[in-house]
Amino acid sequence: MSELLRIEDLSAAAEDKELLHGVSLEVSEGETHVVMGHNGAGKSTLGSVIMGSPEYKVTGGKLIFDGEDITALGADKRARLGIFLSFQNPIEIPGITLSDFLRNALEQVTGKHLKLWDFKKKLAAAMELLDMDSSYADRDLNVGFSGGEKKKAEILQLLILEPKLAILDETDSGLDVDAVKTVSKGIEEYKKRTNGALIVITHNTKILEALTVDKTHILSAGSIVSEGGAELVDEVIENGFEQFAGRE
């Protein structure tokens, strides 16, 4: 399998405080990676930096996606290359409906004009899969959505945009059992359709049940302190993170 994303010795800071210190990681096409760690370990920072959030400044190292150095690219360019981030806290955008927003995004990502009718059909199908009421399509994006609905709306966007790499930042947190199931179903569907790669940031195993994990990375205080296969996930669940601390 060929390499999709290569993170080389990446350091990043927010407001002059370095949060990631020399992180390296490789993801090949179709792989599923899990990133675990305590709150504040830098997991979400890593996801946001891969997407190109202006909140963080890359202070060292680089990001190579599909053979291209994307370290200096804006988020929109990265999205068009095929990177997707499911936000931990999706942003509310008053005045723009979910449907309108997603249609615009899809046109920009694919560079093709889409007939309204075709888009609506595609959207309706994906919403049905995610048990989303069709009325959400005409509601302002994420505005007044419950926590669960927001997460579903993220997965809905994943299904429509079909990126090559999806980063799921705590997509399962704060969801009840049924909602986790629905969201998992969406992720499975994405894998099935596109064989896209996944970076799953979580501290829960529920969302991983339906997925075949290839690699696990444990992050602590901004550095990767341990790596392994799927078995590492179980080890963490059983014994916690403490054992990895300082095991650089």
Partner 1 sequence: MNNMSETKINILPVPTFRWLGVNDYKHDIKEFKTDSSEISVSENESKSEVVYIDREGSSDIHISAENGSKVKLVQVFDVKGQAKSKVTAELGENATLELVELFLGGEVVSEIVTDLKGRKASFEADIGFKLDDGDKLDINLLADHHGRKTVSRINASGVLGGDAEKTFKGTIDFKNGSDGAKGAEKEEVLLMSDTAVNKTVPLILCAEENVEGSHGASVGRIDEKQFFYMQSRGIDEEKIYDLAAQAKLAKVISRIDDKETLARIYARLGRGDESE
Binding site for partner 1 (CB under 8 A): 51-55, 74-76, 78-80, 84-85, 87, 90-96, 100-102, 104-105, 108-109, 116, 157, 161
CB 191 within 8 A of CB 159: no
CA distance 216 to 188: 19
- Cβ proximity to partner 1: between 115 and 247 the closer is 115
Which residues, at least 6 apart from 127, have a Cβ–Cβ distance to it below 8 Å?
Answer: 133, 134, 136, 137, 156
5, two tokens: 């994303």
Closest distance of CB 105 from partner 1, Å: 4
Minimum Å gap between C-beta 65 and partner 1 is: 14
The per-type count for the chain, helices as H runs and strands as E runs, is 7, 12
Nearer to partner 1, 105 or 129 (CB): 105
Taking the complex as a whole, the smallest distance from the CB of residue 79 to partner 1 amounts, in Å, to 3
How far apart, in Å, are the Cα atoms of 185 and each of 11, 66, 84, 180, 208? 34, 27, 18, 8, 11
Identity of the residue, 90 or 208, whose beta carbon is nearer to partner 1 in the bound complex: 90
Query: Measured from the CB atom, is 153 or 225 closer to partner 1?
Result: 153
Can you spell out the DSSP letters for 208-245? GTTS---EEEEEETTEEEEEESTHHHHHHHHH-SGGGT
The distance of closest approach from Cβ of residue 90 to partner 1 in the complex, given in angstroms and rounded to an integer, is 7
Smallest separation (angstroms) from partner 1 to the CB of 1:
25
| Closer of 88 and 182 to partner 1 (Cβ) | 88
Shortest distance in whole angstroms from residue 120 CB to partner 1:
11
Q: Are strands 215-220 and 223-228 parallel, antiparallel or unpaired?
A: antiparallel
Look-up of token digits 């305590």: 38
Shortest distance, position 108 Cβ to partner 1, whole Å: 5
> What dihedral angle (degrees, nearest 10) is formed by the CA atoms of 226, 227, 228, 234?
50
Q: Nearer Cβ to partner 1, position 157 or 220?
A: 157
Nearest to 203 by CA among 220, 188, 186: 220
d(CA 46, CA 243): 22
Nearer to partner 1, 90 or 222 (CB): 90
